[in-house]
Homo-oligomer: A and B are copies of this chain.
Amino acid sequence: MASWRSVALKKKAEQEALIPKEWRLDPIPSSNDVSSIPETCGLLDANELEFTNSDIAVLLDKLAQGHWSSVSVTKAFSKRAIIAHQLTNCLTEIFIERALGRAAELDEYLKSTGNVRGPLHGLPVSLKDQINVEGLESCMGYISWIGQFAERNAVVADILEEAGAILFVKTNIPQTLMWPETFNHVFGRTSNPYNRSLTCGGSSGGEGTLVAMRGSPLGVGSDIGGSVRIPAAFCGTYGLRPSYGRAASTPSKVKIQYHPLAVRKRWSEDEYRLADHGEGKQLCFAILWDDGIITPHPPITRGLRMAKEALLRAASSFQVIDWKAHKHSEMYSTLSEIWASGAEEDYGTVAAPTGEPVIASMSLENQIALEGGFDHNSIPRSAYQLWQLHRKKRDLREEHLQVWEDTVKITGTGRPVDAIISPVAPYAAVGHGNNKSANYTAVWNLLDYTALVIPVAQVDSKLDSVNLPQLFHSHIDRRVSELLNAGNQHLVDNPEDFENAPISLQVIGRTLEEEAVIGMGEILDTALKVIKVETK
């Protein structure tokens, strides 16, 4: 049997061979900030830049009108994705030939029938590595899964293709998926496009990076503890974590139940127009400034203040109050214990056949387990003990919902708080190996609340002066504070190293309240754009 290293090297070489010679960067730039290189490298012509810089709404309109062909749009995004990949190592499977073939079919279909194939006609869409596409591997960075080719599409891939989307690349993830960074033994490490010495987050880190570099207009990930939201926040893109079962929700024209786990609930325009929130006239937002586990760094707090200011300026009827964290520590540890209850047996089962080691840290000095932080210490439990953890989780959910309901007494709107605004992480993107907590995202998973990530600003060392607190919640809180200090060899060297890293926030709504969360997210996003224009 070949060693696991040689199997991984072979797979990586096969991937490398799929990069067309004419799309290669030569030399590959060595700068930390590579976010603008797709624009400046000269490989994309003016049309390709226009396509790839366009909003999805513009793309869909131009594609549907036949003004832009799907072949040319797909080719432009493919080229930009390949450029992004050479700079950040964001891709896993590359299947551009096949995508261009399908794009040509859709162009022909539109030409001959005058109709679009579906609401996403001709739009390239990227997928996180674990989403199966017929005939391709989904090795998820496990050596032992290399060479397993999917017999059929995942349901979400089917839905996208039936809606007219063009699947063209899959994107990188961490081994086990259970890290908020992106590194594995097959594809290696993905870096943050704004600063390659920083992590792009994870587990959907390849998606975050690719979409941030406009190598894809839309990507699909997964999020059981923050895996869509953390990369979205660290890379400055929008990202939605729907409630359990809502991922496959589809427009009303499409069959609503492709998968047994999909909730039979159509998109509701009423809910999007905030019918359950007084038609959006008198909204009361509540800001979570600190979850009591890790105090946010100054840039994040500035982002929260900007959101507050923007909303208060947006409408005199809007209120912004403080949200008091309720049992975040207990919620986070309960979810972590559920994950840990079968983790060792799970990882071991996958890694053992090839001898591939289970990764113990995301730091550059890979394999060194650092103390504290994101808990990968497996605590094997019995099925009965797992049931008790789920029971505890249910009790915490009941309790938190009651706390939220009880805010009806203080809002004055006749409703409880309409949405919570929260950090996504206690910091903007940090150095590789330093993102070891998912406390600001995982609690909303435990609660199964809908969460939307919105980019707010970028780190600015002039504005974000370092005010280390004098008191810490814990030694982990102190450690995170010290990420802003120079001199720790495992950490970034200077506060200035965060410069330009995106600052993002989450808008949190109730379970299965995707429509209203998007509606309120748009209100916040617009309000923020207004104050940015005003303060320029």
Binding site for B on A (CB under 8 A): 257, 259-261, 263-265, 341-342, 344-346, 349, 380-387, 394, 397-398, 400-401, 447-448, 510-513
Contacts and interface: CB of A to CB of B under 8 A. Distances in A.
Contact of A382 (B260, B261, B263, B345): B345
B398 A260 contact: yes
Contact of A260 (B259, B349, B397): B397
B259 A346 contact: no
B342 A264 contact: no
* 9 residue pairs, one from A and one from B, having the closest CB atoms: A342-B384, A345-B384, A341-B383, A264-B512, A260-B397, A342-B383, A383-B386, A381-B383, A260-B401
Contact of A513 (B264, B387, B397): B264
Given A381-B382, A382-B381, A264 B387 contact: no
A57 to B, nearest CB: 27
B264 A511 contact: yes
A342 B382 contact: yes
A535 B391 CA distance: 53
Contacts of A401: 257, 259-260
A446 B53 CA distance: 47
A394 B259 CA distance: 10
A512 B394 CA distance: 21
A383 B380 CA distance: 7
A263 B263 contact: yes
Contact of A511 (B257, B346, B382, B385): B257
Contact of A264 (B265, B384, B394, B400): B265
A257 B513 CA distance: 11
A265 B400 CA distance: 21
A398 B260 CA distance: 6
6 contacts: A257-B511, A263-B265, A264-B511, A265-B265, A381-B382, A383-B386
A261 B446 CA distance: 12
B346 A264 contact: no
A382 B380 contact: yes
Nearest to A510: B257
Given A341-B383, A345-B384, 19 more contacts: A257-B510, A260-B397, A260-B448, A260-B511, A261-B397, A263-B263, A263-B512, A264-B265, A264-B512, A341-B384, A342-B385, A342-B386, A349-B384, A380-B382, A380-B383, A380-B384, A382-B382, A383-B386, A386-B386
A267 B206 CA distance: 41
A412 B252 CA distance: 23
B264 A510 contact: yes
A153 to B, nearest CB: 12
A267 to B, nearest CB: 13
Contacts of A447: 260
Contacts of A400: 260
